[in-house]
Amino acid sequence: MISERLPRSLSILIRPTSVDDATGLHARCWPDRPRDVVVGLLRRAEQLARYRRGLGVTAVLSGQPCGFALLTLWPRCAEISDLIVSEPLRGQRIGTQLVEYLATAARDLGASVLEIGAALSNPRAIALYRRLGFVDGRIIEIDLGSGPEPVLYLYRTLTL
C-alpha cells in the first residue's frame, strides 16, 4: 500500500508508459473509469511515442504506478493532458515531476510552446500550473465526463 506521505528515502520514477501499467493506473488513479478506457489511453500514448508525436509517462512509487500524464504534439504547440496522481499522494510533487518531465520531452521533440488545461472547478491544479511558469490563456467549454464545464488553458514558452 502506498503511504500518504512520501518518506524522504523514497523517490518517484517517471518513465514512458506501457499498456502493462493499465491495471495499476486503473486501481490507483481511475477506479471510476472502465479498465478498457484506461487501456485505450495507454495504447494511444504508445502510438504517439512510436511516431514521435508525443509521449505518455507513468509515475512509479515502490514498483506501483501512481500517476500518469500524456504529451501530444499539435501543429501550433505541445499539450499535456490526462494528468492524474493517485489521490492519497497528491501534494507530494508528483504532478510537478510529471509536468517537468513532459516539458523536457516536448522541447526535445521540437515544441516551442507547451499548453495544459484545467477545469475552473480545480483551482489546485491551476495554482500548480501557474507556479510552474504557465500563464493563463483561453477558456473553453469541454465535457470532462459530467457535462460541459469551463476549462482554462495555460501556456508556457519552452526555450530550445
Residue-by-residue DSSP string for 90-133: TTSSHHHHHHHHHHHHHHHTT-SEEEEEEETT-HHHHHHHHHTT
pLDDT of residue 120: 96
Give the C-alpha separation, 155 to 160, whole Å: 16
**Which CATH architecture group holds 13-157?**
3-Layer(aba) Sandwich (3.40)
What is the model's pTM? 0.90
Distances (CA, A) of 153 to 39, 134, 144, 160: 26, 9, 14, 22
| pLDDT, tens digit, 9 for 90 and up, residues 103-142 | 999 999 999 999 999 999 999 999 999 999 999 999 999 9
The amino acid occupying position 114 is L
Residue with cell 507547451: 114
Residue with cell 500563464: 135
Pairing of strands 113-119, 78-85: parallel
Residues of the chain with pLDDT under 50: 1-4, 9
pLDDT of residue 160: 66
What is the full DSSP assignment across 25-80?
Answer: HHHHT-TTS-HHHHHHHHHHHHHHHHTTSEEEEEEEETTEEEEEEEEEE-SS-EEE
Q: At what angle do helices 123-131 and 94-108 cross, to 10 degrees?
A: 50
